[in-house]
Amino acid sequence: MRGSVTDPRQLHRAAGAVASAALLFPLLGAAPAHAADPPASRLQRAFAAAAAEFHVPQSVLLGVSYLQSRWDTHGAAPSVTGGFGPMHLTDARSALASAAHHSEGTEDARGDSARAPLHPEVKVPQDAEVPARLKTLPRAAELTGLHPEMLRTDPASNVAGGAALLAAAQQDLGEPLSADPAQWYGAVARFSGADDTATAAAYADDVFDVLRTGERRTTDAGQLVTLAAQPGLAPKTAQLARTGLRTVSAAGTECPTTVSCEWIAAPYEEFGDDDYGNHDVADRPTSASIRYIVVHDTEGGWEGVLNMVQDPTYVSWNYTLRSTDGHIAQHVKAKDVAWHSGNWYVNSKSIGLEHEGFLAAPDSWYTEAMYRSSARLVTYLAAKYGIPLDRQHILGHDTVPGPTTATVPGMHTDPGPYWDWRHYFELLDHPFKAAARAAGGLVTILPDYTANQPVYTGCVSKGTPCAAHGSSEVRLYSDHDEKSALIKDVGIGSSPTTGVNDISSRASTGQQYAVADEWGDWTAIWYLGQKAWFRNPKAKPTAVPATGQVITPKDGLTSVPVYGRAYPEASAYPTGVPVQAVSALPYTLPKGQKYVTGDRVPGEYYYAVTFSTGSHQVVRGTNQYYEIQYGHRVAFVRAADVQLVPAV
């Protein structure tokens, strides 16, 4: 028999003024019993207080919060979908609107020189109604009587708001406010904000997986939070049937069973004067291999982005991932070529993933739910298509090279410095770590994401410092001195800045480089044909020793050209297929410098310029290329120009 249902507002009022004060001002020390507690335990106490006040098991509250934010507060700044605090309570007024990812800047998302540049003029669609998942903070304010500003800025109040929402969801299901975590599966599913059973179940399964394994972490605010493991916990999953959520079919999708996925097709349609969009039909991996996965952010909200990918005159990508709950929509089959990276060679050999978010939102942050869902999808795709799980194959859009000199300045820079590559690769079960030997000729960039907070500017307005925030990237200088000039990218042309979109002088977590020099707490790497320095203190290293292969110019060559695509030689093109220029970028690889290499690949070009697929074909040459980590972006060099040498 289910217990009686209690209004969370009544629970809150019944607690009285003392409990209310403890909730509102926990950081000041709410009760003498906790007066001796160290400051680092106050968030843990806030979870305990909210759990007791709203009759929600503390483990459930901790598990939900971990999946939302990993218990971080993010300095009271909103997430990419307007979510605040450890419980990621959402306020639609703080969800930013912006131009669509592919409609700003000069990048041609298709990136094929055989066709006219694709620069559609797209207006961001206005959503008719804000979905419930983006209005949980106002609802929490109603349930608790707390002012919305408290819910946004005070971590303890935020936790209390999350507890009230969980209690309300439990009541709506007619379930008791039980002390048994197993009885809260349905409420957790509802808390996700998902409107379908598959997404809600995937979210709840993740929360209960956290409860079974336990977690212990020091947050971005220095708070130590612990969740004890409950390995035998078996939730009452049958509650899901009573949530009233819709059923979404995964038919037609290429997703692992561990995520929620639906098919929302990008149209392959003709329009205008023999034009078509918004992708190309192919038969990968039969005709050509799939070697890359490209991580993007959408620069727009979920509903508007889905409208754009269904526009045949626009561009496309293979998958979109939702921030609030990790739900996935697939738009283009993996066998087909989506138009997303700005480089046709990379497009023809990659799968594009758009993550709901904004690169330059002030202190923007991504949810744990989306990170986990994305990592599961990438793990699945990498295993299916034999894609190595490293930073030369799992690319950010910001690491895709411009295909020609003219395109370099306009290439996109998402997902940006706030994407947590270290955590992402831990979720991929391929964590970055030091090589077995203590020192060598290579390093892997690996700063502590939370503690690493280089100054960026331009998040709100040009030149204005962004909010302090953890970052995956380290800044590169021309000398072992932070007062020295930043490294210049000659391809971009302009002087380097600390702008959030300026990647000229930044190396990112997981990227590997050959060591060029060392000086005290500084390490120099070969980068963009230059010696680039970054701070790497032995006490708190920002890079660790690595192993791998490097290339350097062959003996007798003073330098070799660098390319943005690995295209075949002219003689490889059959009649009827226009020869594509093998044009070098405005960079060189000088004698004596070394660069980490990924694949050795044949020159390859996918010819697809007509709606009818009869003329589509893959042109493959005999010239071979090495992919290298040249600067922030990857690049290619001809194998005939370089030699493999030991890294030391």
Does the pLDDT at position 27 exceed 90? no
Residues 12 and 141 in one domain: yes
CB 354 within 8 A of CB 298: yes
Q: What is the mean pLDDT of residues 184-209?
A: 97
Q: How confident is the model at residue 82 (pLDDT cuts 50, 70, 90)?
A: confident
Q: What is the pLDDT of residue 3?
A: 36
Q: How far apart are CA 174 and CA 4, in angstroms?
A: 8
Task: Judge whether 312 lies within some domain.
Answer: yes
Side-chain half-sphere CA neighbours of 320 within 13 A: 27
d(CA 188, CA 180): 13
CATH code for the domain in which residue 199 is found: 1.10.530
pLDDT confidence tier of residue 310, bands split at 50, 70 and 90: very high
One domain for residues 34 and 178: yes
- Per-residue pLDDT for 270 more than 80? yes
What percentage of the chain has pLDDT greater than the value 90? 78
End of a domain among 402, 417, 432? Answer: 417
328 and 229 co-located in one domain: no
**CB atoms inside a 10 Å sphere around CB 630:** 24
Q: Over the stretch 581-602, which tens digit does the pLDDT of each residue have?
A: 999 999 999 999 999 999 999 9
Average pLDDT over all residues of the chain: 90
CA–CA separation, 168 and 9 (whole Å)? 9
Question: Cα(529)–Cα(590) distance, rounded to whole angstroms?
Answer: 6
Q: Is residue 561 very low, low, confident or very high in pLDDT (cuts 50, 70, 90)?
A: very high
List phi, psi (to 5°) of 22: -65, -35
Mean pLDDT of 371-392: 98
Given pLDDT bands bounded at 50, 70 and 90, which one contains residue 118?
confident
Residue 94 binned pLDDT confidence (cut-offs 50, 70, 90): low
In a domain, 621, yes or no: yes
Q: Residue 100 — very low, low, confident or very high, per pLDDT cuts 50/70/90?
A: low
647 or 383, which is more confident: 383
Burial class of residue 489 (count of CB atoms within 10 Å of its CB; 0-12, 13-18, 19+): buried
- Region 191-202 average pLDDT: 96
175 shares its domain with 222: yes
Pair 255, 233 in one domain: no
pTM: 0.91
595 inside domain: yes
What pLDDT, on a 0 to 100 scale, did the predictor assign at position 31?
Answer: 36
Q: Are residues 204 and 262 in the same domain?
A: no
> Same domain, yes or no, for 69 and 163?
yes
Count of domains for the chain: 3
User: What's residue 298's pLDDT?
Assistant: 85
Q: What range does the domain containing 566 cover? A: 552-645
Residue 476 DSSP label:
-
- Of the listed ranges 152-166, 400-414, 435-449, 477-491, the one predicted with least confidence: 435-449
Q: What is the pLDDT of residue 129?
A: 67
| CATH number of 378's domain | 3.40.80.10
